[in-house]
Chain A
Amino acid sequence: MEISCYHRPRSLEEAYDLVVGQGAYPLAGGAWTLISRKNLSSAADLSDLGLRYIKIEGEYIALGAMATARDLETSSLLAEAFGPLFSQALRGIAGIQIRTIVTAGGSVAGRYGFSELLVVLLALDASIVFYKDRTQCLASYLNAAPGAPFLIEKIIIPRNAKATYQCMRQTANDFPILSICAARTSAGWRISVGARPQAAALCPQAGSFLNSLENPGEDGSKRAGLIAAQELSFGDDLRASAEYRRSICPVLVARAIRELCL
């Protein structure tokens, strides 16, 4: 790969000026960039900005944009707050030697359909903190068309949710065929589905249905799964057909809900 102009900013301000002001390409772990791009005219390497952290900030847990998938997978802070959720969801991403490279910020910025992290963050009602500009909830970010250049500083997750993760994949470390996260937040149930193969999406109708029940039980979990499968769109790719995805969706959603209610 060729990078004509390589910058290594030392402060967020400098990085912001390069990325937002001058249009430099933000370089995080770089693993996906190496696979998907041939040349970059100008790149801003984000590795010296102190953004590799996972910490508590008031009611939230903040994931610095440069925290790696392996950091999240092995974080005791995340395990304390959400049990094995992050570790179960992220251990399917390639091998450990890739998970030590790829970052939270890169996964969110890329809006990848296959991303396990997006499914989990969406169910947990996470928000993205863009340096200098604004904080935006992940759901609205995923629904909006990509716009002007931006710099993600961190992702914040409310600490009071509980969630479980389910997925189906052909081999342990392949991209998922479908991934599900069911969460109970202070605002009620949130079910998200990813790898449809489009990017993760919420199932508001399934969520409302669950909110109307005192305890979903076996029947409620199954019914919520069917509602989720009906309200979402699915597509074909080389891993599975839309029809296959639609038929496994209720099963995985029901499992995730049951596990959460145990």
Chain B
Amino acid sequence: MTLSCTINNKAVRLECSPGDVLADVLRAAGYKEVKKACGTGNCGLCTILMDGLPVASCSIFAARAQGKTITTIQGLKKEATELAAFIAAEGAEQCGYCSPGFALMALAMVKEFRARGMQNFDEAEARHYLAGNLCRCSGYQGQMRALKNYWESRNE
């Protein structure tokens, strides 16, 4: 089957079979920034945005992308590069395999928190929001510091 959707602001057509998962189809189409590890919805590495919402692309059929707007981390290059500086400054990344999914989720979180009118960075809420993104190298303390600093830099 052929799917028509928008990926990172470009209209594209993707070839897939009805049983394919979206992560595999995206990677086969060259979107290698979409990583895949557990393949069961537990690690968050394959996170993409679908119509603005974070979705585990390993746990959704590719057919669901029909007519949707998809964003991978490449579609948020500018924001992700800014965030990456804060992550690096806190040593919150080592192998980097979790980074595309984590950064996408963190940017979605910041956007949602702002929309809710949150003033001060709420670490407990952030931990909840990011609970589906595992990092097996650096742990989560550094990530929280980085996110707090990133949040505060946006308030300046």
Interface residues of A (CB under 8 A from B): 1-3, 6, 8, 27, 29-31, 34-35, 39-40, 43, 45, 47, 70, 91, 94-98, 100-101, 172-173
Among the listed B19, B21, B60, B129, which residue makes an inter-chain contact with A96, where contact means beta carbons less than 8 Å apart?
B129
Complex Cα distance, B40 from A34, in Å, reads: 8
Identify B41's interface contact among A6, A8, A43, A98, CB under 8 A.
A98
B132, A97: Cβ atoms closer than 8 Å: yes
Question: Does the CB pair B59–A31 fall under 8 Å?
Answer: yes
Q: In the complex the two chains form, is B18's CB within 8 Å of A31's CB? A: no
B143 at interface (Cβ–Cβ under 8 A)? no
Residues of B with C-beta under 8 A to A6: 1, 18-19, 63
Q: Which residues of A contact B18 (CB under 8 A)?
A: 3, 6, 43
Could you name 6 residue pairs across A and B whose Cβ atoms are closer than 8 Å?
Answer: A1-B21, A29-B60, A43-B18, A96-B54, A101-B60, A172-B131
Q: Counting CB contacts under 8 A, is B135 at the interface?
A: no
A97 touches B19 (CB 8 A): no
Contacts of B61 in A (CB 8 A): 27, 30, 34, 45
User: CA A96 – CA B47 in complex, angstroms?
Assistant: 10
Closest to A99 in B: B132
The answer to whether A35 and B40 have CB atoms under 8 Å apart is: yes
Contact between A70 and B19, CB atoms less than 8 A apart: no
Residues of A within 8 A of B59 (CB): 30-31, 34-35, 97-98, 101
Q: Which of A2, A3, A91, A97 contacts B56 (CB 8 A)?
A: A97
Q: Answer whether residue B10 sits at the interface, using C-beta atoms and an 8 A cutoff.
A: no
> B131 and A95: CB pair below 8 A?
yes
Assess whether B63 is in contact with A31, with CB atoms less than 8 Å apart. no
Which residue on A lies nearest to B51, using beta carbons? A100
**Could you say which residues of chain A place their CB within 8 Å of the CB of B44?**
95, 97
Decide: B54 and A94 in contact? CB cutoff 8 A. Answer: no
Assess the B128–A91 pair: CB atoms within 8 A: yes
Question: How far, in angstroms, from A95 to B54 measured CA to CA in the complex?
Answer: 10
Instruction: Classify chain B's interface size.
Output: 20 to 34
Q: Residue-by-residue, is B95-139 near A (CB-CB < 8 Å gives 1, otherwise 0)?
A: 000000000010000000000000000000000111111000000
Q: Decide if B6 is an interface residue (CB 8 Å cutoff).
A: no
Distance of B2 from chain A, by nearest CB (Å): 13
Query: Are B128 and A94 closer than 8 Å at their CB atoms?
Result: no
A residues in contact with B132, CB < 8 Å: 94-98, 173
* Contacting pair B63 A1 (CB below 8 A): no
Contacts of A1 in B (CB 8 A): 19-21
Of B60, B64, B130, B133, most A-chain CB atoms within 10 Å: B60
Residues of chain B within 8 A (CB-CB) of A47 are 64
Which partner residue on chain A sits nearest B130 by CB separation? Answer: A95
The interface bits of chain B over 42-65 (1 if a CB of A lies within 8 angstroms of the residue's CB, else 0) are 101001001001111001110110
Chain A residues near B128 (CB, 8 Å)? 91, 172
| Chain B nearest CB, measured from A123 CB (Å) | 23
Residue of B41, B47, B128 with most partner-chain A CB within 10 A: B41
**Once the chains bind, are B63 and A45 in contact (CB under 8 Å)?**
yes
* Residue-wise interface mask of B (12-35) relative to A, using a CB-CB cutoff of 8 A (1 in contact, 0 not): 000001111100000000000000
Q: A31-B41, A43-B18, A95-B44 are in contact. Are A8 and B105 (CB under 8 A)?
A: no
In the complex, what residue of chain B is closest to A47 when comparing beta carbons?
B64
CB–CB A94/B19 < 8 A: no
A2–B21 CA distance with the chains assembled, in angstroms:
10
**From residue A179, how far is it (CB to closest CB) to chain B in Å?**
17
Closest A-B pairs by Cβ, 6 of them: A95-B132, A6-B18, A1-B19, A97-B56, A3-B18, A3-B19
Q: Which residue of B lies closest to A35 (CB)?
A: B40
B125 to chain A, nearest CB (A): 10
B19: which of A31, A40, A91, A172 is its contact (CB, 8 Å)? Answer: A40
**Complex CA–CA separation, A173 to B132 (angstroms):** 8
By beta carbon, the residue of chain B nearest A98 is B41
Cβ B63 vs Cβ A100 within 8 A: no
